[in-house]
């Protein structure tokens, strides 16, 4: 199977996780995490696990991840609408945080020392914990008000707008931004040829 086209333009891990459900041309969405092995590839592409770390989630762990994704989807909907987050959403996030305790590890570097995080949970729980912590960070110290949905009508991608003026419109200039530019050119060309 070809590697699915994981995208990382969300400016937050939890948003990139939601973007594993891109739009299909027929208006539906596809699921890029359709098998445990895809979850592993996504986690590695997201930089959450080293390439050689053993991470072998089973079907049940993958289902748990997808359930969490649908809870985050609801959270994103509330944020986009400026609505309050339901207590249930907060409870699930806290549950994921509780299942992923992190301690520290003193590591000797070539020069000096480093204190790095060390996940005490199994890797699947650690991954969901990391996503939950990232969501919490957006609420606590990020810009939840800057969560946006790509303005292209055929796109469902989300991102946190970190631009200075807060006017980012597209998930990516290479795809949706260009599609829009091309549509604008075509519309102008039509108007000119119609003598408008
Ligand atoms: Zn888009």
pLDDT digits (tens, 9 = 90+) for 16-39: 999 999 999 888 999 999 999 999
**Has residue 2 been placed in a domain?**
no
85 CA from centroid of ligand 1 (Å): 25
**What is the average per-residue pLDDT within 95-114?**
93
Query: How many separate domains does the chain show?
Result: 1
155 CA from centroid of ligand 1 (Å): 5
106 CA from centroid of ligand 1 (Å): 42
**Has residue 63 been placed in a domain?**
yes
- Lowest-confidence segment of 99-103, 122-126, 147-151, 185-189 by average pLDDT: 185-189
**Has residue 7 been placed in a domain?**
no
Residues in the 5 Å CB sphere of ion ligand 1: 150, 152, 155, 157, 171, 176
**Has residue 4 been placed in a domain?**
no
148 CA from centroid of ligand 1 (Å): 11
**Has residue 153 been placed in a domain?**
yes
Structure pTM? 0.86
Q: In terms of residue numbers, what domain contains 47?
A: 13-193
**Has residue 112 been placed in a domain?**
yes
**Has residue 29 been placed in a domain?**
yes
166 CA from centroid of ligand 1 (Å): 16
**Has residue 5 been placed in a domain?**
no
Strand partners, 106: 115
In which band, very low, low, confident or very high, does the pLDDT at 65 lie, cut at 50, 70 and 90?
Answer: very high
CATH number, position 165: 1.10.3300.10
């Amino acid at each position: 199977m070809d590697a699915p086209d994981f995208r990382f333009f969300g400016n937050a891990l939890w948003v990139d996780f939601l973007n594993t459900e891109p739009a299909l041309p027929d208006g539906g969405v596809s699921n890029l995490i359709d098998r445990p092995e895809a979850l592993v590839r996504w986690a590695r592409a997201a930089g959450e696990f080293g390439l050689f770390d053993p991470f072998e989630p089973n079907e049940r762990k993958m289902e748990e991840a997808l359930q969490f994704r649908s809870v985050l989807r609801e959270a994103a909907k509330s944020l986009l609408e400026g609505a309050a987050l339901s207590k249930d959403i907060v409870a699930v996030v806290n549950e994921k945080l509780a299942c992923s305790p992190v301690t520290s590890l003193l590591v000797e570097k070539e020069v000096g020392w480093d204190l790095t995080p060390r996940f005490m949970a199994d890797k699947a729980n650690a991954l969901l914990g990391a996503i939950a912590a990232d969501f919490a960070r957006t609420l606590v110290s990020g810009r939840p008000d800057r969560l946006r949905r790509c303005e292209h009508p055929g796109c469902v991608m989300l991102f946190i707008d970190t631009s200075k003026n807060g006017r980012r419109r597209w998930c990516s200039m290479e795809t949706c931004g260009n599609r829009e530019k091309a549509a604008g050119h075509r519309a102008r060309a039509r108007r000119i040829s119609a003598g408008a």
